[in-house]
Homo-oligomer: A and B are copies of this chain.
Amino acid sequence: MQLRRGDVLGGAIAILDEYGLGDLTMRRLATSLGVQPGALYWHFPNKQTLLAAITDEMLARVSAPLDAQDWDARLATYAHRMRDALLAHRDGAELAAASYSARLATNDARDTLARACVEAGLPDDESELAADTLLYYILGQTMDEQSRMQMDSHGALVEDASPLYDSTSGTARFDYGLSLFVDGVRSRLRAAVRD
């Protein structure tokens, strides 16, 4: 029963979901697969690359085709898909942020966001910048949401300075920032029309 690349990936995701990113070590992964640590390096050149592969796996479905709609609804749907994909795995947002930061993620989520901005009517160069802006927001907000979940689950019922923090659901918080972004794009479009 030989080890396949997919087995390594699957084992890594299993550890991620059960114990979190901090406990996802090459040694622990090797043990869970019944193999020596060095064996993993035949399938992945290093840990960073393995983590990036998990990120790509996580985000593989966000770029799937969408029912035709208004550009703002499309943009919002892509953003929500991405958030949902990150939320589906423990520390998913932190993992994705690390992979993007290391420039090892090869999924097309960013391109999809950029394309949606082009379809909205933004110039190509602005669309790239807008996509990055939205991407940073999604990663940051979702990271925050997941670290909050982690704190809650660890029995720390520290009441926040702002009571709104607890009462406002993660989705509502997410939607607020998202609407700020979409409104920003909208006013850029209007400005372009006036010229």
Contact = CB atoms under 8 A, between A and B. Distances in A.
Contacts of A140: 97, 132, 135-137, 139-140
B187 A133 contact: no
A82 to B, nearest CB: 14
A179 B32 CA distance: 49
A180 B177 contact: no
A141 interface: yes
A56 interface: no
A103 interface: yes
B132 A177 contact: yes
Contact of A125 (B141, B168, B188): B168
B103 A94 contact: no
B147 A103 contact: yes
A162 interface: yes
A180 B184 contact: yes
Nearest to A146: B101
A51 to B, nearest CB: 15
A185 to B, nearest CB: 7
Contact of A143 (B101, B162, B180): B101
Contact of A180 (B147, B168, B188): B188
A173 B135 CA distance: 14
A23 interface: no
A103 B129 CA distance: 28
A96 B71 CA distance: 34
A127 to B, nearest CB: 10
B176 A180 contact: no
Given A132-B144, A140-B140, A151 B103 contact: yes
Interface of A: 94, 97, 101-103, 124-126, 128-130, 132-133, 135-137, 139-141, 143-144, 147, 151, 162, 164-165, 168, 173, 176-177, 179-188
